[in-house]
């Protein structure tokens, strides 16, 4: 049963990490609704969440490998020869700078978030609705004209600052960064791709930081938990890869309307369920 739960939670993580619906919020809500304790320990459940985030990071890097490789090479070239004159060098630097606000906020506020927000499903439900409405506003008002290589400094700074809000479960990192991208005039596909590229250092850094506790407390791992972590990791990696592939294809011709409606309906339903318990 544990392996089944790990696979389901891994798939939930892989699908919702890149769709604008909040992966951390869904992990919390699935556990809350189904009464799944998984490892019966809040600390190791948090470590499991880190493992499935690491899985989505692998799926992300594999899918975007050509972009990641090109931008990394452009960043190194920019350090050696300057960032002016080449759109990919400039884009690489913009992504690096845009990563800083969320990275700093995560380091400084992680304990507060774990203590107060991750244990509050009603907050998750409310944030699903609020930021679903924000995505609807961006979808209606954005010009949807700018391509990836046309990204400007203000685009990166605004998206990077908005990304800080995603530390709260229910906001959605991809949702809030896509919202900011749309408000800055990006096309739907460009906003999503920029969001995914921006998530490479964030998800990778968060996974490495979180896995420190696994290495440090390796001797205290619950008996038989390694297969649970492995199944969750693999399920998240595969489902994350497939999600990115089909989501980017979907955005070439369609809008975010289904995801906006989904967020609002799920949030409203959860508020009703939680209020009547």
SS (H, E, C) the chain: CHHHHHHHHHHHHHHHHHCCCCHHHHHHHHHHHHCCCCCCCHHHHHHHHHHHHHHHHHHHHHHCHHHHHHHHHHHHHHHHHCCCCCHHHHHHHHHHHHHHHHHHHHHHHHHHHHHHHCCCHHHHHHHHHHHHHHHHHHHHHCCCCECHHHCCHHHHHHHHHHHHHHHCCCCCHHHHHHHHHHHCCECHHHHHHHHHHHHHHHHHHHHHHHHHHHHHCHHHCCCCCHHHHHHHHHHHHHHHHHHHHHHHHHHCCCCCHHHHHHHHHHHHHHHHHHHHC
Provide the pLDDT for residue 9: 92
CA distances from 108 to 104, 199, 209, 263 (A): 6, 19, 13, 28
Residue 125 above 80 pLDDT?
A: yes
Most confident of 35-44, 84-93, 175-184: 175-184
**For residues 128 and 269, is the Cβ–Cβ distance under 8 A?**
no
pLDDT tier, 213 (very low <50, low <70, confident <90, very high otherwise)? low
Domain that holds residue 154: 2-276
Confidence (pLDDT) at 69? 96
Question: How far is the C-alpha of 160 from the C-alpha of 102, rounded, in Å?
Answer: 7
The pLDDT tens digits of the residues spanning 77-103 come to: 999 999 988 899 999 999 999 999 988
At 221 the pLDDT is 66
Q: Which of 8-12, 97-101, 117-121, 253-257 has the lowest mean pLDDT?
A: 117-121
Give the predicted TM-score (pTM) of the model: 0.89
Do the Cβ atoms of 5 and 36 come closer than 8 Å?
yes
Residue with tokens 């609020």: 130
Q: Total domain count for the chain?
A: 1
pLDDT > 90: percent of the chain: 61
Q: Residues 143-164: what's their mean pLDDT?
A: 93
| Long-range contacts from 264-270, C-beta under 8 angstroms, 24+ separation | 264/128, 264/129, 264/132, 264/133, 266/21, 266/125, 266/128, 267/125, 267/126, 267/127, 267/128, 267/129, 267/132, 267/170, 268/125, 268/129, 270/29, 270/121, 270/122, 270/124, 270/125, 270/128
């Amino acid at each position: 049963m544990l392996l089944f739960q790990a696979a389901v939670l891994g798939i939930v993580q892989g699908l919702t990490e890149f769709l604008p619906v909040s992966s951390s919020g869904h992990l919390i809500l699935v556990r809350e609704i189904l009464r799944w304790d998984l490892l019966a320990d809040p600390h190791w459940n948090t470590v499991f969440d880190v493992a499935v985030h690491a899985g989505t990071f692998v799926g992300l890097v594999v899918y975007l490998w050509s972009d990641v490789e090109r931008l990394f090479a452009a960043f190194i070239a920019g350090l050696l020869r300057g960032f002016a004159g080449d759109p990919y060098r400039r884009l690489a630097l913009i992504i690096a700078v845009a990563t800083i606000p969320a990275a700093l906020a995560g380091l400084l506020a992680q304990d507060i978030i774990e203590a107060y927000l991750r244990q509050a499903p009603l907050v998750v439900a409310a944030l699903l609705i609020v930021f679903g409405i924000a995505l609807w506003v961006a979808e209606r008002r954005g010009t949807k004209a700018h391509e990836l290589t046309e990204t400007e400094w203000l685009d990166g700074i605004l998206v990077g600052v908005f990304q800080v809000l995603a530390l709260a479960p229910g906001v959605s990192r991809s949702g809030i960064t896509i919202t900011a991208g749309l408000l800055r005039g990006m096309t739907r596909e460009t906003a999503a791709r920029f969001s995914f590229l921006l998530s490479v250092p964030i998800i990778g850094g968060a996974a490495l930081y979180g896995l420190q506790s696994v290495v440090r407390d390796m001797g205290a791992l619950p008996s038989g938990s390694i297969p649970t972590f492995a199944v969750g990791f693999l399920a998240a990696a595969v489902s994350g890869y497939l999600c990115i592939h089909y989501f980017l294809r979907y955005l070439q011709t369609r809008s975010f309307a289904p995801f906006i409606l989904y967020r609002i309906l799920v949030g409203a339903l959860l508020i009703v369920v939680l209020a009547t318990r």
